[in-house]
A and B are shown apart, each in its own frame.
Chain A
Amino acid sequence: MLGPIAGILFDGFAYGMLLFLLSVGLSVTLGMMNFINLAHASFGMLGGYVAVTLMQHFGWPFLATLPAAFVIAAAVSMVLERVMFRRMYRATDLDQTLLTIGVVFMSIAGAAYFWGTVQQPVAVPDYLSGAFVVAGVNIARYRLFLIVVALVIVAVLIAGLEWTRFGAQVRAAVDNQRMARGLGLDVDRAFSLTFALGSGLAGLGGALAIAMVGLDPGFAFAYLIYVLIVVSVGGLASIGGSFVAASLLGISDMAGKYYVPQLGSFLIYLVMVGILMWRPTGLFGKR
């Protein structure tokens, strides 16, 4: 009995860490500027295609593609932020939704145009494939790798937000944007950097995701839903909240598929509805 439960916890947690990387950026930027960026998961998809392309066409080793996925997703998001999103900060929620959903459609069409609609083949290196058994639990090497990477990033993010001046400025801008400006903080610039960092993490998440969940142009939409669930369950601008929410959702998704396959991936929505009825602002949300 312990075997399947521990196995589900492990696999679910690994999946949750993917969801965390894909969504944490949106949680922070949404809390900071109230900017509804539905295209967030598109940056995850971009990271995935960057990794695939560098491996397939340029022969890059898998590990080297990860920072590249981060950097390119961050850079592209920064350009979009400058030329498009920045004009929309004071727009209505509906206008922001319409603009960014348009970007999602464009990203899907663009991916289909350049890479086709087929699933992308991914080969992870030998040292990351296969599994070993610890106390009856099957530990897939790749999932363990994913968990370690995500935990390191959680630690770095929390330390950065708590201990650096830039982190304090981000928290101040989330708390009270007008006062932060009134004291001399260039909120737009801080947001731009945070936005790029968050998109970069989504790109990294996308590159890490493909070996586990595959990659095709539908990624931008499929994961948009999960990202929004993580953000609403975790609460705005809370790294810890995103972490807990993503873990919870990853585990309940795996458990649902294992124990109640009839419900399939539906369980994750029930969990979301239940948590939001209990705490409408999310587990760690303040508003």
Chain B
Amino acid sequence: MASMAETLLELKSVRAGYGDAVVLDDISLQVTQGENLAVLGRNGMGKSTLFLTIMGFTRLTRGSIEWQSRDITRLASHRRARLGLGWVAQEREIFPSLTVEENLTVMQRPGPWNLKKVFDLFPRLAERSRAMGNQLSGGEQQMLAIARSLMTNPTLLLLDEPLEGLAPILVEELAAAIGRMAVEQGTTIVLIEQHADVALSLTRRALVLERGAIVHSAASEELSADAATLDRYLGLKLESAGD
């Protein structure tokens, strides 16, 4: 088990929620450099809340969060981002009064990713660079949300259902792009995804959330072959699992 790679993110017995409502309880997890992680679970189980908690947008009432062995439990959200945490929100949250290019550059930080690289990854964004953020299709918004986060050159990228609501052809294209960016620039990814087959193929490890707790944790390859577990927690029968 002991890996030489650096532990990027570690949650220890975290309890968090909104106001007085507790959504996540006793969450402990580790993300290691280069070891992409899938977070699975049905709707409303607390997956997005997990990302919001890592970014410091929820009320954390117990436990701690460490980033590269440094305690960030009480650190302001923008400081977490500057330490190398990238977050792509489920709702995409493009800035409507900024152009596509401004969305990309407004918070860019130096590193391997720059305008040229993200335009290579998503050529569609280059064509639309002068459009306003609120003039984009769903797929374009999703690409922009990912590209905007890449422009901050994160060490770890939290992707919240990046394939949600996209046409099948776009799902494939975007999944391929996510795989490429992980490999090419060594960005580690934590991926929340309803398309469990895609998520498992892009990651090394997976965990399943149910009602705010981690109920299953496995190697992605193992889980994708474990039809019973997938069916039990996600209610899915994966085609690949039957092969």
Contact = CB atoms under 8 A, between A and B. Distances in A.
Interface stretch (B99-107, B171-179, B226-234): B99-107
Nearest to A237: B97
A172 B93 CA distance: 10
A182 B106 contact: no
B96 A182 contact: no
Contacts of A186: 76, 78
Name the residue among A165, A178, A181, A187 with the largest chain B CB count within 10 angstroms.
A181
Contacts of B97: 171-172, 174-175
B57 A165 contact: no
A182 B87 contact: yes
B109 interface: yes
A180 B98 CA distance: 12
A183 B98 contact: no
B107 A187 contact: no
Contacts of B93: 176, 178-179
Interface of A: 165, 168-169, 171-172, 174-176, 178-187
15 contacts: A165-B105, A165-B106, A168-B106, A175-B95, A175-B96, A181-B57, A181-B81, A182-B55, A183-B78, A183-B81, A183-B107, A184-B81, A184-B107, A186-B76, A187-B78
B55 A175 contact: no
Q: Which 9 A-B pairs have the closest CB atoms?
A: A184-B81, A183-B107, A179-B93, A181-B77, A175-B95, A168-B106, A172-B95, A184-B82, A171-B97
Nearest to A174: B97
Contacts of A187: 78
Contacts of B152: 183-184
